[in-house]
Amino acid sequence: MILITGATGYIGRHLVARLVAQGERPRCLVRDVQRAANILPVDNVDLVQGDTTQAETLPSAVQGVDTIVHAAFVTADRKQRPGSNYEETNVHGTRKLVDAAQAAGVKRMIEISGLGTRPDKPGSYMQGRYLAEQAVIESGLDWTIIRPSVLFGKGAPFIRGLVDLIHSAPLVPLIGGGKVMFQPIYVEDVVSIIVQVLREPDRTANKIYTIGGPNYYSFTQVIDALLEATHTRRPKVYAPIPLVGVGAAAMEAVLPRPPLTRAAMTLFSFDNTTDIDSVERDFGFRPYSFRAFLQGQGV
Ligand SMILES: NC(=O)c1ccc[n+]([C@@H]2O[C@H](COP(=O)([O-])OP(=O)(O)OC[C@H]3O[C@@H](n4cnc5c(N)ncnc54)[C@H](OP(=O)(O)O)[C@@H]3O)[C@@H](O)[C@H]2O)c1
């Protein structure tokens, strides 16, 4: 039995669709069953209502489960609000899930983390992501951590945020000069990797996999590709990170879904890349190219 947390999320819903297509019937932990019923193939999954920040909801969700795929996080592209707090969900929620998994005799946990996760300032977004990984590593369960670069695919949050920014701003800010590097990876390729990890518990036990697509792009190149794909012309301007941080704070204050958040600015503090052959080397296939996707399917 597989339990997927974050099943209604971007990666979660693609993973559920793949597992169902393969004839499996995963259990999905969801906060709002009615909402989930509009997103997930309800006839082919078991929905269980729960919230990782509410420990009392977890024992029934993990009962009889062998493996948890943990993708329930408040990601950096979301602003914090009541019920969606980075520390409460990412750190404390993961610890509560680990506690419940240990108590129920769950064997393994696969955590969907992100590239660049490392110790950082106490209370920061990145420190929370680091502590969430540590909770799983120190759980005593078999664990695997998957750290993707930014994702692309229909409706991908990072790309959608940039497209919103392109459409809403008269100038496109080249954050930090546009030099930070990204290695966008296709959501279906991430799902294929999770499925391989599920199928190969021995080979993948107690490992961290950093994964990215087949090409590196500077932020400027990502923006250029999106301008081209959306047939949009916009002047680009150099935008120092502190200034964009102020803009992100202002957008967070007034918009329910701001195109940029202060936490997302963390992504601009390091190159969001790993080895160019990471997927081919560890999982034996060549991932899809971001440019080919945009040319074939648009944003
Ligand atoms: N998307 C990317 O570009 C990308 C890139 C690299 C790494 N990742 C990582 O992959 C993981 C999944 O990302 P994603 O893009 O799929 O995120 P997402 O679309 O924002 O989905 C987050 C999921 O977590 C659920 N959730 C949030 N708080 C919860 C709680 N307290 N209890 C139970 N469920 C809760 C949400 O449920 P509701 O539907 O109820 O809100 C939703 O299903 C994250 O760790 C993220 O950092 C994503």
**Model confidence pLDDT, tens digit, residues 125-143:** 999 999 999 999 999 999 9
265 domain residue, yes or no = no
Range of the domain at 38: 2-149+186-211+275-285
pLDDT of residue 299: 93
Residue tagged 């499925």 (tokens): 195
107 domain residue, yes or no = yes
CA gap 228, 235 in Å, rounded: 13
List the single range of 97-111, 162-176, 180-194 with lowest mean pLDDT. Answer: 162-176
Measured from the Cα of 32, ligand 1's closest atom is 40
Assess whether the C-beta atom of 210 lies below 6 angstroms from ligand 1.
Answer: no
Inter-residue contact 131 to 96 (CB < 8 Å): no
166 domain residue, yes or no = no
167 domain residue, yes or no = no
Interior angle at CA 100, CA 97 and CA 101, nearest 5: 85
9 CA → ligand 1 middle, Å? 5
Any residues with CB less than 8 A from the CB of 223 and at least 6 apart, and which? Answer: 162, 166, 172, 174, 178, 236
For residue 37, the domain's CATH number is 3.40.50.720
Report whether pLDDT(80) > 90. Answer: yes
Q: What is the DSSP string of 248-298?
A: HHHHHHH-SS-S--TGGGGGGSS-B---TTHHHHHHSSPPPPHHHHHHHH-
8 CA → ligand 1 middle, Å? 8
- Smallest CA separation from ligand 1 atom 2, residue: 151
Assess whether the C-beta atom of 148 lies below 6 angstroms from ligand 1.
Answer: yes
294 domain residue, yes or no = no
Assess whether the C-beta atom of 117 lies below 6 angstroms from ligand 1.
Answer: no
Tell me the pTM: 0.97
pLDDT of residue 259: 85
Assess whether the C-beta atom of 153 lies below 6 angstroms from ligand 1.
Answer: no
Q: What is the pLDDT of residues 145-169, one digit of tens each?
A: 999 999 999 999 999 989 998 998 8
Assess whether the C-beta atom of 274 lies below 6 angstroms from ligand 1.
Answer: no
78 CA → ligand 1 middle, Å? 10
Assess whether the C-beta atom of 51 lies below 6 angstroms from ligand 1.
Answer: yes
Count structural domains, the chain.
1
